[in-house]
Structure 1
Amino acid sequence: MVKKFISTIFCVFLFLALMTQGALAVNNVSDINVDVVIYEDGSAYITQTWNCNFNEGTEGYIPIENLNGMSISEFLVSDESGVYTYIEDWDVEAGFDEKAGKYGMVKTNKGYELCWGISEYGEKRYAIEYKINNLVGGYEDFDGFNFQFINSGMGTLPTDVTVKITMHNGIKLDENNGGIWAFGFDGEINFENGNVVAYTKKPLSSGTDSVIIMLQLNKGLINPTRVVNKSFESVKAQAFKGSDYDYGTGTGENSSELPQEAPSFFELVLGMVIAVFPFAIIIYFVRRIRRPKKKIRTLYKNADYFREAPIEGNLEATFVLAKDFDQTKDDGNLIGSAFLMLINAGCLEPMSEKTVGFFGKEKENISLKLMHPPQFTGVTAKMLYDLLVLASGSDQILQENELESYCRKNHKAIMRIIKAAKQEGKNTLIHIDCYDTSKKAKPLGLSQAGENLLLNTMGFKKYLLEFSLIGERSIAESVIWQDYLTFATLLGIADKVIEQFKKVYPDATHYSDKARYHYLLVHRYTKASYHASQTARSSGSGGRSSFGGGGGFSGGGSGGGTR
């Protein structure tokens, strides 16, 4: 009875939400371009250009809140016809004609709202200009900011957003004098021709999507007026929480002392659906999250042992299915398994090289000699081999430090491999009818064939982890120590599986010694490639943005658009 009541209430709220979103959908913003010019004193002149098609409402507005020692001045609005007239006491409740051709600022208890009259329905371009005084703070170690340029929960969401940051004094920004990170959207942030450019690759959706940019500047580039008595590392540590940037350790900061300035959950939910009670949304999402998690745990518990590599040994399809359903976590596992495949196929040949260091001490380095491209199918190994060719130089002998240096400088190369692998895996799963979008397939969205493949993947993982309990010795050692270990690496359980294999095969053999040696080697080369790429991205060299994280930002709130 209680469940039925909750479901009924939820349906009512969802209906109201859809009605509200439908009303808001009348107005459209195709794109917003944000130009940020940073001055010597740390202030910044910002120009937001909105390309719109508005057919209802009386005004556009941008809430700018949580300013933390910053202020707004030099506010200006214009369209194709010219500059608007500033109104000192802006009346939100005024009519369409009263607001036409005018603009003003509203002081709120959290900051400001920059407002302007829609003036004319249909397609228009608005330029909203303003100065943020003290945007860049002078921290103990660096100068910088963490600022939300596009709010979450906008009633009229932009399809595309581009943010360009330049220095007024002509200094060219790059990874040698700055660091850049982006949060809240699916896109990229990069150094381009001395500027910082961030852009969305997918449209912002309702709810928590936003555009947050964090910029770090070396001391001496500018002289910020606003002085902050803490390190910028502490700002980064807070922003990295909940993100997929790898902050690492050794910052010297006590995380328990970091400021907690992230927006409240209520504010984010309020922006997600206007006029809908927050607890209805909470119930909805909790139910959506818990159902698949519970279903996945139940499937794993009931999965029978599976003794063959899943999906006929297709590395990419197995990884996508395993990643989507919590059977593997780190994208680096895909790179590690591809390294093993290349070594086992003879495409890469480990070489031991001895060098003499300081004080005459010998050091042994293990290099990889590139023998021939892979002949088997699968985009991961092929693209990885091509990357190794570029990293190794003319001698086609790859040292660990060569690979690490290449991947730090070209950190997007590894991410392109992972992206292509995931797409190929997804295409394969679609081709073999793995998915089912009908209601009966909820909550996993798998067909019966897809669920069987997932059970096989789970059963194989369980089989490897419990190998010593089964005690099977009928499988060829070459299969166990090569094929099995490759897919154990893909599933992120290789270290545990090696221990299982050792219990069943305690005596050292040619296969076991070589497999352990190769796994340790692959672990190092995966670290030198994938993890070096991630470290470069996390260190501020640019690249893919992070959906999560960005906490502690200034300048942002929730809402905006039209009303």
Structure 2
Amino acid sequence: MVRIKSISKWQGILITIFIGLFIFLTGNEHVEAEQTVNRMKITINLDKNGTAFISENWNVSADEGSEIYKTLKLEGPQQLGNYSVSIDGKPMKRTSNWNPDASKKAKAGRYGQNGNELNWGITKYGTHNYNIKYAISNFVEQTKTKQMINWTFLEHDVEISPHDIAIRIQDQNHKFSKDNGYGIWGFGFDGQTQFNKRGQIDVNNSKALNDDNYVKILMEIPKGTYKTSYHLNKSFDSVVKDAFKGSDFNYQDYKSGKNIKNDLLDRILWVVIGALSLIGILFVIWLVLGIRNYSRYYPRMKKLQKQNEGQYSRQITANNIFELYTILSFIPGNRQKQDNNFLTAALLQLVKQGNIKQETVKEKSHFVLLQQPEKDAPEPLQALYTVLYRVEKDNVVTESALSKYLSHDSNWQELTYEFSDYSYAYCMKYSLVESSDDALKTRNKKDRKAIRWAKWLLNDNHQLTEEGIKIRTQIVQLKNYLEEFSLLNERNIKEVSLWDDYMLAAAALGILDKVEEQLNKVYPEYAQESVYYNTSDHPFNYTANFSSHVAYSSTGGGGSTSSGGGGSSGGSSGGGGFR
């Protein structure tokens, strides 16, 4: 059996460099979940009274539900004002009495307030940009010693938790900096806080946020800077001490004037970076030369198609498309999306065999289990059916249930290993792959250089044989055919079973939509004759989206933030969800 080996930290860094350089030298897909805040950008403008004028830009993908809402937790004399919402730059209309139980149609194009909630209609499914503006008076608090902002911009375990967040705090009348007496700390996530050159504060995450993260900011402000009416009967130091509990920050460092976590480590890091700069440049040059060798032996799909321009193959050069998984994995840039493509192909194959059927309710697709695959069915199909059986409820498999199961790395890897093991056995049987050591013994000098680089960059001890490269070429020519058959003299090929197989290949190659579009033109009767359309009007689109969503679920004075801490005091605008 074959496994993609685990990589060391340094190999991971070098492979990351390789990917970046490869894209730069030769030249990419984001899949959205059913209700997801992809990005959140928050800008806070402060006025002389300590009022915050807040603008939040949310990039949201949703294909169900009727509204989005966020909650506010105001403290003391804080009050809400100037509330408005727009979608894709178009202002929405305010509803005075917001009804969260109203229909999607009633909420479309409208926003309102329900108690401590700010609500607005999803309006249109798909990916859209929402801009939420509001003001909070007395946002700045005056302690017995200093002023501060103590605010939670995102609560933990909320549906609106974005993948990425960026926060900017600014005041046109004040320049924020450590030298001017300001401090900044972030809690609940991995990221950075910093004073930029324009006297603003920037906060960003460095790792994708998840439900366990929260985003809380504590900002130190010199006493008397703002004319706020919010006064606390405690010192700023006591707030800091409470916030630092359970965090990575050290209260004694703060007391001695340090605002940056791991201050010594950061200084050492900069020295090391400076010392290694020249070595790094030389290394990059060496790496670029190696990548060129590697790219000659293992070109990307676009280059392979260009090399085979005008050449077509009408054959799936295996018993089934799943036997070719390993061949495709040797095409650079293909591995990241390959598992998703083959999951789509496997679901369609189970539909074709009568093991499952697809149903669509309110534009949401799910699968219904019918019967187990035959014992001689390809192992990946049997493994996938077993997974579907584990998550079914009343024989129904929903996208959310399968996503939850496969979001555990071990479950996802176990399934993808079934594809790679099955294909690897086929490739070894027919001598389509061989060990890198064997390849180095028989190839010419140029090929040996490329193989050494491929072995190191891919962290894989197997390479394509000459016969394997021929099969790769046939796959490329098959893709050429599937992408261009409507332009060729192929309008007389109307054998439904053949096109059913071609659609499986199109799924594995990630071109289902292109092939379906052409097929509708040259063979419009296919939709009435194919088994895929028995229970769905759009089987390929819905299956591809289903797979994509599932696969996606299965990524002080500045400095690092802390993953914990923050204390329990302060207001919040970070709760919320979807309805």
- TM norm structure 1: 0.44
- TM norm structure 2: 0.43
